Amino acid sequence: MRQVLRSVTVMVAALVGGGAAAVGVASCGAGGGSTVPVAEAQEIRVRMTEFALDPTRVRVRAGVIQFFARNEGKEDHVLAVETSEGEIRKTQPIEPGRSGSLKIDFRPGRYEMYEPQDDYRAKGMSGRIFVAPRTRTVTRTVTQTKTVAQPTTVILTETKERIVPRTIIRTETVTQPSQP
């Protein structure tokens, strides 16, 4: 019943906030006090076999990353991921044919993921996580000033006389009647 109430509360909070509110879900682990935004989660699927992780390189944007580890090997495996705080978060041991998951909030940087049991990491069961900064959308208001030429009417209230010397050449054509 409590779980249902918690789910309803989270959904109502998301609706009231217009979907832009940071709705949190308690993360798993010993501390349990941190929250992660649900709307920003990215998913990474990792295949685990003896001495290999697939993919070995992961590129994501900063924010919450959900790792889904699938054990396709013959022995139990654990996925360990380095966090932005320098901690190592691990899944529970995953039996062959089963899956486990981790949810981690990353800041930009480079991090490691690996199999911490025995000497699997040294044998190649490791990978890198490259976290790029999130891009921001910036809204700017641009005011543009444009000069437009408009005809202007000027009314003169004074009349001034000026003498301007001009040379006028006139040509006149005169028609005269002919004489008999």
CATH assignment of the domain containing 101: 2.60.40.420
141: its two tokens: 């208001």
Task: Assess whether 3 and 61 both reside in one domain.
Answer: no
Q: Which domain holds residue 49?
A: 40-135
Is residue 100 a part of any domain in this protein?
yes
8 and 60 share one domain = no
Is the domain of 30 the same as that of 82?
no
**Residue 121 Cα distances to 48, 55, 87, angstroms:** 12, 14, 17
Same-domain status, 86 and 96: yes
- Domain count within the chain: 2
- Domain membership of residue 118 (yes or no) is yes
Distance (Å, rounded) from C-alpha 94 to C-alpha 101? Answer: 10
Domain-embedded: residue 51: yes
At which residue do the structure tokens 């000069």 appear? 147
Torsion sign (Cα): 110, 61, 72, 52: negative
Q: Within 10 Å of residue 81's Cβ, how many Cβ atoms? A: 24
Clarify whether residues 71 and 32 are in a common domain.
no
User: Do 46 and 122 have their domain in common?
Assistant: yes
Query: What tens-digit pLDDT sequence spans the chain (180 residues)?
Result: 444 444 434 343 443 333 333 333 333 333 333 333 334 568 999 999 999 999 999 999 999 999 999 999 999 999 999 999 999 999 999 999 999 999 999 999 999 999 999 889 999 899 999 999 987 666 666 666 666 666 666 565 665 666 666 666 666 666 666 655
- Is the pTM here over 0.85, yes or no? no
Does residue 44 sit in the same domain as residue 131? yes
Contacting residues for 72 by C-beta, under 8 A, at least 6 apart: 47, 48, 49, 96, 97
